[in-house]
Structure formats: structure tokens, C-alpha cells
Amino acid sequence: MRFIIQVLVITILASIMELFLPWWSIALAAAVGGYLFSTGANFLAGFLSIVILWVITSITIDLTAGAALTEKVAAIFSTTKPVLFVITALIGGLVGGFAAMAGGALRKDRRRMKYY
Amino acid sequence: MNVTKFAICAVITVGLIVFLNNGWNIKGTPIPPLGKFLDPYHGFWQNIEKTDYKPGKQINFEGLQEPVTIVFDTLMIPHIFAKNDADLYKAQGYVTAMHRLWQMELQTHAAAGRLTEIMGNEVILNIDRANRRLGMGYGAKHVLDYMQENDTVRTMIESYTNGINAYINSLNYEHLPFEYKLLDYQPEQWTPLKCAQLLMNMAKTLNIFDKDIEMTNALRMFGKANVDLLYPDDEKVGDPIVDNTGKWNFPPLQPDTIPLAVPEELISMNRLTERDPTVGSNNWAVSGTKTATGSPILCNDPHLGLSLPSLWYVVQLNAPGVNAMGASLPGAPGIIIGYNDSIAWGMTNAQRDLVDWFKITYKDTLRNEYKFGDGWAKTEKVVEEFKMKGGSTFYDTVIYTRWGPVTYDDRFHAENNHRDYAFRWIAHDKSEEIMTFYKLNRAKNHAGYMKALNHFSSPAQNFVFASVSGDIAIRIQGKFPLRRPNEGRFVLDGSNPHHGWRTFIPAYQNASQKNPERGFVSSANQYPTDNTYPYYITATSFEAYRNRRINEILTKKNGVTVDDMMTLQSDNYNLKAAESVPVFLSYLDSTRFTPDERIAFDKLRKWDFFNDKDSEAASYYEAWWDALVPMIWDEMESETVTLDIPTAYTTIKLIREQPDLVFFDRVKTESKETAREVVQQSFSNGVANIKQWMENTEARQREEGLYGGPATGPAWGRFKGSYIGHLIPTLRPLSIPVNTGGNHDIVNAHSRTKGPSWRMIVSLEKSGVKGFGTYPGGQSGNPGSPHYSKLLDRWVEGKTFPLTFMKEPGEPGTYSTTTLNPE
């Protein structure tokens, strides 16, 4: 449950921060989420949060697209559209994962989180 | 707190961010900053527009005097309504940048020789050095001088510049055009100099060509008689653009006569500016006496290299004193080819030699002085600085003489022995083209058109004209040096002060014609005048086929409609084939045919000579022709001497009339060939090439993916393999393949990569001017926009869109409205 909340918080926080800050704000969001909710699976939480956020956002854009730029970018990278989504997700996920881990490591004692 | 774990994770995170926030170059392959680029909130995903995308409704705009309304129609063509000229051009700059910023900047970077700043490698550096050594920047400075001297033009250019910068300043990474993100760089501020550079780019596309060096070599190698046979100045075919035989009523300037000294050596070089006989244009205007409505119709289709984003951007400009619509060049204010409430105008390139090369003799290796007359003249050394992407800088010293820059010397293309020729080009001179378009956009009648054209010097154009009041006209306008006979055909002696351009033909003596008896005017890059025009004219080549087909159709046709004009613009009749196929076929020995050759022969014999996209005979003909030309002119393929090949018209004429000419003998064979053997051999080769194309499964599969369904035969549209390429050729996925008929030398001049870059038809009716147009691309330069290629399909079909020409904002056809508000 705590893990799910952590994922949700990072996802929502990142989606808000991305409106005002550059792409690396996902790391800030993940770090904050890692710090506040430090679970045993901080990396996975940060990773999943950004993967979910970036995949949903990019697929939404692609579904309503008036032109097939996604296919063309995939072709420029000598790959296919599904792979491009995977690369996008992986890049965001890795940054989110490590940032969440760093955030979690800042926490002195995990048990003190219980009051939450 | 786990310090070690935190430190490790933090370092990895920051390291990842830095790595993904920067572009990298891995073994020559540039990689964009992947984190930035793939982030769905800021990266390329944000360049993807929705199907129903509309530009912003209200935009605050610093420096605007009054609000400006921009109405976009369903083709995303902006109709700009402003209260004064300054606001009008600000809005034009803004809206053009909104759709085409990346392209505008790339084209000016190219003209300025600054592409290395974006893509730093050896190949690009050579392109940049060439542009600087051809004096592109030197000419742009002179064009800018005029822009700053004339108040009207200065206002235009500065307003346009402000508008572009207002757009640039509104950008953040999220909204940056796609190519900036991909190539990882930022736009810089626009300046008036960039407008001048853009015009230089156009001049380079159209009139930087010459064959002086090739002709000089030909004269040495083949002698005067052969030069006149192979490379006549006037092929005397078809009607000239202006036929005014015996009625040139002005006192012509008289050139002096001095003998032309031709240098002794044979010159070898890799030309930077190779002429391209496949580029050209058509325009014509039909008088009301020959149209269905009784009003004149004007048509224009300039043939250029086709690219995405497109060369042209369609716009309507409305302010007190002006209501004009048509094709603009992104990067230059005003409308270049279009119409207003009273007139319409269009252009084709005027073929004319406006380039000379002067042999320079330096006093010593310091190159501070060169021989001039009885003494020595001083050179000027300009150090050109090239900033390479990645940080390093390359320096190049270019020597300038009174003639112009010394393009090639021991520091540039030194592998050739053509060193130390100075380059003189009309586009180096100060000129006033922007004023021509300012006035044409506002012209009310023929007199206004004539006045506007007086400002135009380069690149020389055939300006066609028609008015609502019923006049049609054509004028060959440019700044033409007064040439002695044969001057400009060969390289010149730079030490002789009598060489070079002493004076220019007065503008009023340039050939022009108004309301000729035949009821139409037309041009297609053919020879400009009848032979009683009192000046010597030479050029790299003149067109021989399109002009005759257009004139034949226009002469025959009465009750002309807009649809007829669409049909003519996309006419695929191959006159060159009609004149050569019967001769070629008669030279073939049909007893020696292979089965494939028999099939080809039968198809060619039954061919109607239309290069339609489904025609297989057209493919056999074009493959045959492409095999034939290099076989005939193998004499010109020398590695040590630079030579040009004769035109298609002269080639066919010689095949027919002088089949035993020595040039038909193939240099590399021991046997003695005539035109018959060469025609036979090239026929076999052409058929073999088609067979190979059919059997090339890889090419076939690629092509099947592009055009849908397997090819059962060599249909011309598929065999030609046309595509509209992105401005950066390596970005192949951004290109669009097209299946069309036509070819060079055909009215529908669509070859593999070049063709009609804008098709326009204007019916000048008293009840209101009606415009029709399309181009192979779309208004938006953004490959993520549905408007990137929205106009292309109709262009492929040979049809045009009716253009919405609004009197006021909000008329039918409005798709969305944007208001620019003063801040």
C-alpha cells in the first residue's frame, strides 16, 4: 500500500513539476517521493512512476497526433515505434529510480516513517 | 542516513542527468540529448500537433503600434490584416517564423557559410568555405547597404526582423522547432543581414552558373568550328520570349571591340557551381480575348529543387494601400510571386551569363599585388573564421581583387591547376530587389509593374504580368552588362583593364512586350529575343522543348479556363521524345534484339510520347536517353580537363543530321562508331538497366512499401522514384516519396528531386481576382504538424486549391483567428 502511494505521489509530483521545470525535474520528484515514503523498493518506485508518467503522456500525444512524427523519429533512430516508447520509458525510469533511491538514503531510520 | 548509499545514488542520478541532458557524437553519428529530447513534456513529443491544432488566440507583441488580426484558413495560410506597413511586416515576420523558423535560419547559415556551427565536419566545412569564397557574404553586405539607405525598405526589413525576433524570444525548449531539438542547437537573433543572405541564396540557386572554363577548354581542344557546332549561343528553336522583330526603337549602346585573349592552358577543376539544365520554370499570361470569362489568366510554376520544409510560404498581406496574396520566401518580407486586387505577376529565370572568371597574375608569392594594365594593383586579404560545432575554429584567407574574390587557389581545391581565377558575379553588386516586391505588391496597373521592375537587378527574371483592366505583358528584367560579341563565353584576362563590365544595358532597353497580337505572353527559359535585338546574349544554355509545347497549346486554344491551365501546367507531353524516338528507332537493327529489347522496342513504337506516371515506354525512353548521353559525349569525361556536354536539342539534331560526326566515335573502343552504333548500344544498356531495376528486389521492396503493391512493369512514376526530401538529406524518414509523371524538358518538369515548386493560376476577373495554387509541401515546416505536407496530394494530382483572398477578417474559409496585441 505504502509502495503504491509512493508511486502515485512521485507520478503526480513529477507531472506537476514538469509543467514548470525542465525534464530533469522528474529526479527531484522521485527524490522527494523516495525521502518521504522511503520503502524497501525505492528504486522500483521511482522507476515505475516515471515509466508510467512518460508512457501515458507520450501515448496520449501519439494517439491524438495529426502527423506521424513518432514513426519518423523512430526511423531516424533506426528503430521502430514500440522500441521508441521503450527507450523513452527506460530513460525516464532510470533517472527516476536512482533519484528515488538517493532520496530514500537520506532518511535516517525507516521506522520513523510509521506515523505517516 | 546512509551517506555512502546516498552519495552513490546521487552521483549516478546527476551523472545520468548530465549525460542525458547533452548531445554526443559517437563515431561521427550525432546523438541528441536523449533525456531532453525524449521527455514527453518538453522533448520532440511536444512538436506533435493534434489534428485540430489551432495557433494561439491572443499574443502580446512588444513594439506593435496597433492590433493586428491574423486569420488562418483551412490550409493554414495566414491572412494578415494590419493598420500600417510596419505592423504588417512585423506580423509577417512573426507568423513566418512561427511556421518556418528553423528553415529560414538554416538557409541563411548556408548562405553565410556558417553550417559548420550546426554540423561540424569536413564536408560541411568545404561547403561553407566555397560559399564564402564565392563572395556570398561580400554580396550580402552590398544588398544590406541598400536596405539601410532606403527608408521604405529599411522599415520593411527592420519590422520583419522584429517580428521574427518576437517569435524567437517567446520560445522555450518545449516549443523549439523539431530540428533544433534533434540537432541540439538554439536559434540566434534574426538580423537584417540575414534577409540579405537569403536573397543571395536565391541568386545562387538561379544565376551563379557559367561554363566559361569549359568553353575555354573546348575552344583549345576542338577549335572554333566545333565550338560553334556543339555549343551555339542560339539554337534557333521555337519562339523567343519577346519577338519584336525590326521594332526595337531605341539607340543601342555600342560596345568597343578588343580582341579576346584566351589563356593558353587547359583548365581542370571540380566545379562548385555546376549548372543544372533540369532546373527551369514556366510562366504565361493569356489575354481576355482567348479566355472563357473574357478576363486575363496568369500562370506560373517555378521549377526548383523540391524540399521539406518547402521553399515557399503562402500569405495574404492586407494594410492601407496593399492587399496582396501569393508565395513569399521565408526570410524576406513581401510577396514574391502572387497577385493583388488589380494585377498578378510571376517569374521564370532569365537565362543569361552574369558570371565571369578573370585570370590573376600575382607579382610574387606574397600575393599583395597583381598585374593590372602597365602596373600592379593591390589585393585585399579577408580572413574568414569558421566556428566548428564542438569548439574549434578554422581560418581561411580569401584574396579579393577589383574583379571579386579569388575562389580557388593553393589553399582551396588546390588539386586542380585552375588556381588564381577571380570570380565576378552580378549578385556581388548592390541591388534593390526588395523595393521591386514592395511596389509590385501595391501596383495597380501596367505602369506600376514597369516602375517596380526598374529596381530589379539580380537574379534576372522573366516577369509575366496581367491586370484586371485587361493588359498582359512580359519583361526580361535584370542588370545586364553590355557585352562584346563572345565576351563572357570564355575566361578573361584579369590584367587587362579593358576586360570586365564597363556599363550595363539601360533598364528601359531590356526586352519587354505588352498585349501582343497572338493573345498571350509566355516564357520557359528559352532564348529571350528575336535576332534583331541589338545586344549580344549568351548563357549556359537555353530551353528548347517546354516553351514550344506551351506556345503550341496556347496558340491553338480559345475559351481558356482555369481547368485548362491546370491541365497545361501538369502536361506530360515529351516533345524531346517525339522528336528523337522516330530517329532513334530507325537506327536500331531489329534483327539483333533480345526478347527484352523486343518488348521495349514495341512499347516505344506504340508510345504516345506522354511521360505519364503509368507509362512504361517513358521509362524505356528515359533509361535509353540516360545511357546515350554519356556514351556520345565521352570526349567530355576527361579527368584532367573540365568540359561541358552539349544540350539535348543539339545532341538530337546531330544524331539526326550528322550521324558520322567524329564525336559519335567512342573514345575507349578500337572500332569506329557512328550515331547508329551508339544509339543501338545505349538502347541495349537502357533496357538492361530497366531489367536490373526490376530484378533489384531490395529496391523493389523499398519502393513497394512506398507506393503500395508490387510493380508489374517499369511504370515511369516508380522508375523515376521521385521524392520530396527534407532540407537535411540524411534525415530520410522526414522525406516523402511521390509517384508522378513528367520530367525535365517537359512542361510538368518534375524530375526525380526537382520540379514545380509552386503552381499558381490567377483569373483576373472584374468581379474579383481569383487565385489558385499549391506546392509540394505544406504551410508548416514542423514534421509533427498535419500541415507539413497538406498541399502535397493535390500537387501530385496536378490540381490546385482555390485560394481564399479575403477583403476583411472573418470571411468564409476562416479556420482560426489570432490577434497580436501591442504590449
For residue range B143-156, list pLDDT tens digits in order: 999 989 999 999 99
Which residues neighbour B557 within 8 Å (Cβ) at sequence distance 6 or greater?
B290, B564
* pLDDT surpasses 60 at B481: yes
Model confidence at B13: pLDDT above 60:
yes
pLDDT at res. B792? 95
pLDDT, chain B, mean:
91
Torsion over CA: B289, B295, B296, B301 (sign): negative
Q: Do B36 and A19 touch (CB under 8 A)?
A: no
d(CA A14, CA A20): 10
Cα–Cα nearest to B719, from B747, B749, B748, B751: B751
Averaged pLDDT for residues B700-716: 70
pLDDT of residue B286: 98
**Torsion angle of C-alpha atoms B1, B4, B6, B8, degrees rounded to 10:** -170
Nearest-Cα residue of chain A relative to residue B32: A77
Q: Which residues of B touch A76 (CB under 8 A)?
A: 182, 731, 733-734
For position B486, what pLDDT does the model report?
80
Q: Are B347 and B338 in contact (CB under 8 A)?
A: no
DSSP string, B710-728: --SS--HHHHHT-EEEESS
Tell me the ipTM for this assembly. Answer: 0.93
Out of B20, B48, B52, name the one closest to residue A61 (CB): B48
Tell me B49's DSSP state.
Answer: P
At residue B35, the pLDDT reads 94
Answer whether residue B331 shows pLDDT above 90.
Answer: yes
Mean of pLDDT values over B762-781: 96
The percentage of residues in chain B with a pLDDT greater than 70, rounded to a whole number, is 95
Query: Which of chain B's residues have a Cβ under 8 Å away from the Cβ of A101?
Result: 5, 9
Average pLDDT over residues B335-342: 97
pLDDT at B699 (0 to 100) = 67
More confident residue, B149 or B709: B149
Other Cβ atoms closer than 10 A to A79: 13
Tell me the CA distances in angstroms from B202 to B17, B304, B775, B802, one per residue in order: 43, 10, 18, 27
Residue B267: what residue type? I
**Which region among B259-263, B567-571, B776-780 has the lowest average model confidence (pLDDT)?**
B259-263
In the three-class reduction of DSSP (H, G, I as helix; E, B as strand; rest coil), residue B446 is classed as helix
- Residue A116: its pLDDT value, please? 43
Tell me the percentage of chain A whose pLDDT exceeds 90: 77
Distance, CA of B540 to CA of B646 (rounded, Å): 10
CA distance B140 to B192: 10
pLDDT, tens digit, 9 for 90 and up, residues B19-61 = 999 988 877 778 899 999 999 999 999 999 999 899 988 999 8
Quick check: B724 and B736 in contact, CB under 8 A?
Answer: yes
pTM, full prediction? 0.94
* Higher local confidence (pLDDT), B492 or B91: B91
Query: B372: which residues sit within 8 A by CB, 6+ positions away?
Result: B402, B494, B495, B497
pLDDT tens digits along B625-677: 999 999 999 988 877 777 889 999 999 999 999 999 999 999 888 889 999 99
Contacting residues of B for A31, CB less than 8 Å apart: 13
| Cβ contact A31:A66 at 8 Å | no
**Interface contact A67-B48, CB threshold 8 A:** yes
Q: What is the pLDDT of residue B159?
A: 97
How close is the nearest chain B Cα to the Cα of A5, in Å?
22
- A114 confidence band (pLDDT: 50, 70, 90): very low
Over residues A66-83, mean pLDDT: 93
Phi, psi of B768 (to 5 degrees): 145, 135
pLDDT given at position B272: 62
Which residues in chain A have Cβ-Cβ distances shorter than 8 Å to B16?
Answer: 94-95, 98
Bridge partners, residue B421, by sequence: B359, B408
**What pLDDT does B660 receive?**
93
Q: Distance between CA atoms of B602 and B605, rounded to whole angstroms?
A: 5
pLDDT higher for B432 or B485?
B432
Mean pLDDT of B353-380: 92
Tens-place pLDDT, residues B492-506:
888 988 888 889 999
Separation CA B783–CA B789 (nearest Å): 8
* Nearest CA-CA distance, residue A109 and chain B, Å: 7
When pLDDT is cut at 50, 70 and 90, the band that residue A115 belongs to is very low
Q: Is the peptide bond preceding residue B459 cis, with omega within 30 degrees of 0? A: yes
* pLDDT: which is higher, B522 or B219: B522
At residue B17 the predicted structure's pLDDT band, cuts being 50, 70 and 90, is very high
